Amino acid sequence: MSFSVTEPSNGTKWFAGILVIGYALITIAPLLWIIATGFKSGPDSIAYPPKVVFEPTLEGYVNLFTDRTRATQDMLDAAGEPQTWYDQIARDQGTVITGPSRYGERFMNSVIIGFGSTALCMLLGTAAAYAFSRFRVPLKDDLLFFILSTRMMPPIAVAIPIFLMFRQLGLSDTHLGMILLYTAVNLSLSVWLLKGFIDEIPVEYEEAALIDGYTRFQAFYKVVLPQAATGIASTAIFCLIFAWNEYAFAVLLTSGTAQTAPPFIPTIIGTSGKDWPAVAAGATIFLVPVMVFTILLRKHLLRGITFGAVRK
Amino acid sequence: MTDTPIHKVAQATPESMARRIRGLSDRTIAWIFVAPTIFLLLAVNIFPLIWTIRLSFTDYRVNRPNREVEWVGLQNYERILSDPDIWATMQATAHFLIWTIVLQVLIGFALAFLINKKFRGNDLWTTIIVFPMMLSPAVVGNFWTFLYQPQIGLFNYVVAFVTGADPASFSMIGDVHLAPWAIIIADTWMWTPFVMLICLAGLRSIPDSIYEAAECDRASKWRQFWTITVPMVLPFLMLAVLFRGIENFKMFDLVVQLTGGGPGNTTTLTSIDLKREAFEKWRTGYSSAYAVILFVTVFGLASIYVKALNKVKER
């Protein structure tokens, strides 16, 4: 083994490792706590001292997806034997299920609006990024800066006229309205990131294709797009995560049909007071996909969060 | 661009044939590709901005559409800038902004520095540390209210366990002195990894050869840290501060879910105040002026800062 003055000693590595792992454990504790709370019973979730060991139950999840009412003994008798396992869980809490809750709908809204806006954003963003990367666009730098500056405005500040505009156009509380809005918000990110990724593809590939008789369009989608596939995929995930997480516009511009999960989760309440296991279950289902995506993205994470300003 | 091979080929072939080979001209394609993006941004960003500026000179109220709208000139601006409540809000925002940035820079840099010691498994732990910042701030804010519950909350329990205080004796989000710190702690938990990742990129960009040269010159580790590491990471660190500054100036979702601006107005950041004026009191004209002031502030501060950042980069 060659000696290197820049290689930290084993002692330093151990010391650094212990501190970082310590921080990591502290930082994921709240997340693990929420995931655990989703599997607790109501009394366990608010026990003192906080319960680390508990008997897991699906109460939180059943409560999340159903509307229930407190049942008297007469009602329980009238309802007969519980038909399903989730019916049983509701009965055990002294309640009967009256129907599905709105969480499923809200979650689907998040999926529709998230994927819809991401698809549209990638379509527009890839085209614009390609043009900015390869062609002489008049006022290119100004346009690029303008695109970035749209991200600086506080969402609430823009929300006032958008609220008025959407009302006029009949887009308030619609999926289409939210998809267009999130697309516009995410375009700055997708154009900047994708331009960086396309800049890295050598121009020679396209030139070769053009000489072989491809048109510009063909060169674009047969040569550039496949080359940029990883970049496009990670940009798409970033757009998706943003749309998925967004709250300010969602809470101001949607109330029913197009409301996404983030404004809905905090409003979940039980039959008696705040139902923390149900809230935790709702948060878990909503947050875990993002954690999975984070793992997939880890190589391009830095680039994404800095709009391509920092590359590894 | 004009001396690339394809242009030479194009110049050598007759115009009609060249057009067939190349399809649409590059100029046309450039416009087709850029126009939809620009159009959408104009419609959803610039048009509303201009509308906001226009409304800011009126006394328009959304909830009274039939009332005569009057031009009030700069009156809205005068009222906002002379309103002590709004200055209190600005102060709360500045407190939040400064402390979150200080804590995130210190912890973020320290973590990056330690991770850069390349201990075994550092990638895995880095990914774990990064989780919080990818999550929905509103949902995070909501579940931090659970962690902050007096008596039953995990946060209170841990603090009580460490300090020996009674976990029911303090309420992070109910106490006027603690609430500003409650939002700072939650934000720091969430966004320290952001600063950490950028610092890490900075640390990794420093070539080993510089340290080797310093070692030959017998510079102490301490001196190496201050004369090599810090100056080389500084541009990265400043970029991280820029991003966090802009984001936290706009801060809404996390804090509105965590404290709702209370107790009293102690955690009413500007975005939360603006939301109340615009969507609860429905003072559209007034809040438009408020929005313009905020936008000018963030844009102005960011431009000054970017100039400073570029100076540091040039050094």
ipTM of the complex: 0.88
Helices of type H across A135-269: 140-149, 155-169, 175-199, 203-211, 216-219, 225-227, 229-245, 248-253, 261-264
How far does the CA of residue B14 sit from the closest CA of chain A (Å)?
Answer: 15
Report the helix count and the strand count for chain B, using DSSP H and E. 16, 0
List beta partners, residue A100. Answer: A66
Interchain contact, A211 vs B55, CB within 8 Å: no
Q: What is the DSSP letter of B68?
A: P
Interchain contact, A262 vs B295, CB within 8 Å: no
- A178-226 pLDDT tens trace: 999 999 999 988 998 999 999 999 999 988 998 888 888 888 888 999 9
Using a pLDDT cut of 70, give the percent of chain A over it: 97
User: What is the average pLDDT across B289-301?
Assistant: 90
- Provide CATH code, domain B75-314: 1.10.3720.10
Query: Please, are residues B299 and B67 in contact by the beta-carbon 8 Å criterion?
Result: no
Amino acid at A218: Q
The whole-chain average pLDDT of chain B stands at 88
Q: Residues, chain A, total?
A: 312
pLDDT at A28: 94
Residue of A nearest to B236 (CA): A310
Distance (Å, rounded) from C-alpha B125 to C-alpha A298?
A: 12
Indicate the residue of B4, B40, B48 with minimum beta-carbon distance to A187.
B40
Which residues from chain A sit within 8 angstroms of residue B151, using beta carbons? 48
Q: From residue A143, give the alpha-carbon distance in Å to each of B34, B42, B307.
A: 10, 11, 19
Distance (Å, rounded) from C-alpha A111 to C-alpha B175?
A: 38
Of A129-138, A259-268, B72-81, B94-103, highest mean pLDDT: B94-103
Name which of A45-59, A271-285, B5-19 the model is least confident about: B5-19
Query: Please, are residues A305 and A284 in contact by the beta-carbon 8 Å criterion?
Result: no
Structure tokens at A35: 């995931």
Indicate the residue of B37, B132, B291 with minimum beta-carbon distance to A124.
B37
Amino acid at A99: G
Tell me which fold the domain A104-267 belongs to: MetI-like fold (1.10.3720)
SS3 A70: strand
Query: Please, are residues B104 and B244 in contact by the beta-carbon 8 Å criterion?
Result: yes
**Residue B67 exposed, middle or buried by CB count within 10 Å (0-12, 13-18, 19+):** exposed
- B222-249 pLDDT tens trace: 999 999 999 999 999 998 999 999 999 9
Indicate the residue of A12, A156, A210 with minimum beta-carbon distance to B271.
A156
Token pair 């102690």 is found at: B266
Distance (Å, rounded) from C-alpha A147 to C-alpha A150?
A: 6
Omega before B263 within 30 of 0, i.e. cis:
yes
Higher-pLDDT residue of B17, B269: B269
Q: What is the DSSP letter of B292?
A: H
Residues of chain B with CATH 1.10.3720.10: 75-314
SS3 B154: helix
Question: Number of Cβ pairs closer than 8 Å across A and B?
Answer: 305
Residue of B nearest to A17 (CA): B119
Closest CA to A254 of A187, A180, A177, A185: A177
- A36-85 pLDDT tens trace: 999 998 888 888 888 888 889 998 999 899 888 887 777 777 777 778 88
**Residue A251 exposed, middle or buried by CB count within 10 Å (0-12, 13-18, 19+):** buried
Binned at pLDDT 50, 70 and 90, residue B1 comes out as very low
List beta partners, residue A96. Answer: A69
pLDDT at B145: 92
pLDDT at A33: 94
Binned at pLDDT 50, 70 and 90, residue A1 comes out as very low
Residue of A nearest to B197 (CA): A302
Question: In this model, does residue A112 exceed pLDDT 90?
Answer: yes
The whole-chain average pLDDT of chain A stands at 88
Interface mutation vs chain B, best among A160, A166, A244, most B CBs within 10 Å: A160
Radius of gyration over alpha carbons of chain B, in Å? 26
Question: In this model, does residue B307 exceed pLDDT 90?
Answer: no
State the number of CA atoms in the 13 A half-sphere of B293 facing the CB.
22
Question: In this model, does residue B27 exceed pLDDT 50?
Answer: yes
Interchain contact, B122 vs A17, CB within 8 Å: yes
Binned at pLDDT 50, 70 and 90, residue B8 comes out as low
pLDDT at A2: 45
Structure tokens at B275: 């939301």
Question: In this model, does residue B93 exceed pLDDT 80?
Answer: yes
Distance (Å, rounded) from C-alpha B72 to C-alpha B25?
A: 51
Interchain contact, A8 vs B117, CB within 8 Å: yes
Token pair 């960011």 is found at: B302
Binned at pLDDT 50, 70 and 90, residue B62 comes out as confident
Indicate the residue of B48, B127, B142 with minimum beta-carbon distance to A279.
B142
Binned at pLDDT 50, 70 and 90, residue A4 comes out as low
Omega before B48 within 30 of 0, i.e. cis:
no
Question: In this model, does residue B28 exceed pLDDT 70?
Answer: yes
Interchain contact, A143 vs B38, CB within 8 Å: yes
Q: Residues, chain B, total?
A: 315
pLDDT at A5: 63
Query: Please, are residues B86 and B307 in contact by the beta-carbon 8 Å criterion?
Result: no
Q: From residue B5, give the alpha-carbon distance in Å to each of A122, A206, A214, B1, B2.
A: 30, 11, 14, 9, 9
Radius of gyration over alpha carbons of chain A, in Å? 25
SS3 B136: coil
Name which of A210-219, A225-234, A283-292, B33-42 the model is least confident about: A210-219
